[in-house]
Structure 1
């Protein structure tokens, strides 16, 4: 009997992306999979129901119908209580679960006997590159952050020489040179800005400079060892943070735009920009915080809001930045998701092998228990 994959509307506030696009429906049906899509699933990404139907999916009239008989539920963000209650024990759920923070959803999935996988836990190994949803979404977030900054900034980004005079190039400072930060650097450079960037990982220096930006950091012995085996930034000592803060303070006062992107897996976002930093910046300056969903890198910024401080600095706290470019974000995420789900499809049969290193790393719940060591407790 064919495996049935269901995709339902995203029910979390502000989520415009979808977990499956018509081209990926065609890929799944070509693998012998039955695809059921709840009506309205793709509207936030400008995908009508007819596009899914033409690609070979069945369009279900409501949630209950979509989930009846589903073997796998594919989502962007974690399912809601109404979705979990409609799942049979043993159903597989694959999504960006935000498992470190959303303990209630994890507990509900475990209690329902659902096998769940968090796309944010896909390991950074060569075999899993095509499944790396964090990177695909961060790329778009970095790009969109610069576009949002340019929209909020009351001046041009490139230097422009005219008969009436010269417009100076914007000075843009990117804090955090991971996937999002590097894309922000590249985008700001393409728009003609003078770009500087900082990161606590020594490998980032060469990457930043290869994109034409200047690297700014305290490069001491701690800095040289500030990277995990998985390529993530380590938490730094108070002494290092104080030195870096002093350097940041002297640099940020000269900037027109600051974009922060720093995240540490499993922990709140580190505070990089203080209220004092913000108050030192020129009127008309802009700060965009890509870590606002996880507590924020910028003191005083509020999730989901755009505000102007007393000294005229615009704080951009938009959440879900990839969702502001939903069509492309959905396309990339769907490819990540289908590549991941394909690991569980063997000759048209659902076969979840938790000894597979990718599935094992991403598994959160299975058999009525929480199985991910980093999420337990």
Structure 2
């Protein structure tokens, strides 16, 4: 890198005003700097202490700024700047304007903000807000659905193994050969299949019940978005019976909306308190096959209900055979804030409590379906 290029980059980072670089920006560099200044040059103590910057006080001016940002920065950077603009410059109210919603770069964080505002949205902004949420949901489904179906489909097939296949088409020849290698006859160059291994792939019986219980407090917005998409994907697998429950101080069963994750998300209500104990009590009422049930509690575990009752309920569920997993977050936002005492108490009951990224969730569910040890996931995500 030349000295000129190095100074240019430092100039863009530092923002001018006697930054010591002596560099002058022109053309696209100057326009990039202007876009950065409007956002990051407006806070006291920021970017040389300059004042008077900002995005203006109207949706059209913000929309023009977003257009400039998309022109000069890659999409991941656009999303970061967009999030910073909403938080630093208090532009939340402008999201009520359709002009603003049409201009933003949709992402999970924006969806969370819109869900928290959707009861306040004027009629003229509702359609734009729903379109933004639908775009994000469709993108997540494209990215996550195939891998989820593949991982869980394989796990469900493996749980259906039987030593007595009814027809040759049900035999898994690869697994059968591996299971009978000790019966190999070299003189005949063949394996004697003493034990057949087959998958019941054509069976339509429900093999596992999955209950997703999702905390809808404001800090769990991204997790709610991902959980809704995963819930819709899981519900599409015939071998699973999937329920989705959201909760704050009340409990709402959104299972009927699993076919439409956008409608499901708009049925949630972000914000408010948290009563995990009440939510777990409701989920316990849905359990009729404990050994074949997986309860995934997505929550930061800050309990506003009765903590002792919560732990007792979870202890009874695990003792009955239910696989209980506590996800402190289902997102890619990094290490979340959570109640460490409650997480430790759950771990003492044999319930793993850890944050999980969306990319790891399919493998986690496959392991739970097969009753495998989940410790590797705990170690990977803590």
Check whether TM > 0.5.
no
Q: Which one scores higher on RCO, CA 8 angstroms, separation ≥ 6? A: 1
With the length of structure 2 as denominator, give the TM-score of the two structures: 0.38
**Which of these two proteins has the greater Rg computed from alpha carbons?**
2
The structure in which a higher percent of residues are helix is 2
